[in-house]
């Protein structure tokens, strides 16, 4: 049974992926499979699955008599199978919650879906105690009169990490749609990191390990309790390339 779960959210290009390098090796990774119609992003896209899988699983579950609960238009839940289907932008994701076993876990999930998941007691129980982090490339969300700068910075970060212009623009639009959910998460106790200085592209410059250590220190400055999820600085430095 999971005791503590860390959820990290933020716009595309903000650097959520690299932060997996500071999470303890034995922490459980709760990752959905991405059913991308465009195919895997690259050879390292370990959680890609074909979109057809969603229809096949629905038919299989229904044939077994497993009920479907639509928690929202974009979040579908098969409670007997402990399986979630989440619509993220244009694509669906499938997240299996059965058999999750580990004291600590890290989850990276679409923010609007998180609020729906946490409203369901059966799903909420799976994650244990929650710690939530919102990485933000601009000023504090509560102070923004508009989301224009957030979208502009997101597009810039995505382009700098190597996204196509079309993909970067889509991520910028998505940031505007996700921002209300991030604000709600902050109201529920998530720690916001405005002007986050470690977007994904900065890890291409200089010593990646030292950048990760700096990111670790920045996170712990605001919330020292999150150290339970993190490797020590020596463990990060000694990790093989």
Low-confidence ranges of the chain (pLDDT < 70): 39-45, 240-241
Strand, helix or coil for residue 115: helix
pLDDT of 241 reads: 46
Pairing mode, if any, of strands 4-9 and 104-107?
parallel
Strand, helix or coil for residue 101: coil
Domain borders along the chain are: 4-33+103-238
pLDDT of 135 reads: 97
Inter-axis angle of helices 165-187 and 111-118, to 10 degrees? Answer: 30
Which residues are CB-neighbours of 74 under 8 A, at least 6 positions away?
Answer: 86, 87, 88, 112, 113, 116
pLDDT of 47 reads: 78
pLDDT of 200 reads: 96
CA–CA gap between residue 35 and residue 26 (Å, rounded): 27
Helix (H), strand (E), coil (C) string for 118-175 = HCCHHHHHHCCEEEEEEECCCCCHHHCCCCHHHHHHHHHHHHHHCCCHHHHHHHHHHH
How far from 220 is each of 14, 133, 214, 217, 224, CA to CA, in Å? 18, 11, 10, 5, 4
DSSP state of 220: H
Q: Beta strands of the chain (E only): which ranges? A: 4-9, 28-30, 33-35, 69-72, 75-78, 83-88, 91-96, 104-107, 129-135, 191-193
Count the neighbouring beta carbons within 10 Å of the beta carbon of residue 209: 17
**Which residue's structure tokens are 């490339």?**
137
Instruction: Give the dihedral sign, CA 202/207/208/213.
Output: negative
pLDDT tens-digit map of 85-140 = 999 878 899 999 998 888 999 998 889 999 999 999 999 999 999 999 999 999 99
Nearest by Cα to 174 from 40, 45, 46, 14: 14
Strand, helix or coil for residue 16: coil
Nearest by Cα to 189 from 107, 88, 102, 114: 114
Q: Does domain 4-33+103-238 have CATH number 3.30.160?
A: no
């Amino acid at each position: 049974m999971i005791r503590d779960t860390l959820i990290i959210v933020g716009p595309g290009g903000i650097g959520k992926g690299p932060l997996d390098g500071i999470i303890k090796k034995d922490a459980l990774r709760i990752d959905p499979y991405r059913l991308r119609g465009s195919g895997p992003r690259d050879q390292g896209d370990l959680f890609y699955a074909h979109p057809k899988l969603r229809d096949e699983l629905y038919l299989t579950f229904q044939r077994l008599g497993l009920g479907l609960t639509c928690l929202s238009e974009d979040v579908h839940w098969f409670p007997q199978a402990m399986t979630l289907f989440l619509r993220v932008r244009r694509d669906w994701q499938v997240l299996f919650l059965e058999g999750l076993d580990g004291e600590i876990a890290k989850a990276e999930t679409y923010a609007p879906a998180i609020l729906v998941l946490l409203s369901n007691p059966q799903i909420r129980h799976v994650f244990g105690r929650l710690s939530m982090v919102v990485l933000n490339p601009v000023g504090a969300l509560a102070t923004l009169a508009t989301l224009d700068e957030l979208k502009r910075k997101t597009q810039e970060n995505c382009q700098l990490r190597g996204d196509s212009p079309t993909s970067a623009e889509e991520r910028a639009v998505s940031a505007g749609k996700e921002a209300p959910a991030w604000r709600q998460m902050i109201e529920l106790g998530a720690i916001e990191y405005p002007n986050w200085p470690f977007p994904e592209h900065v890890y291409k410059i200089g010593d990646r390990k030292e950048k990760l250590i700096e990111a670790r220190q920045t996170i712990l400055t605001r919330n020292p309790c999150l150290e339970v999820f993190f490797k020590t600085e020596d463990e990060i430095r000694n990790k093989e390339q």
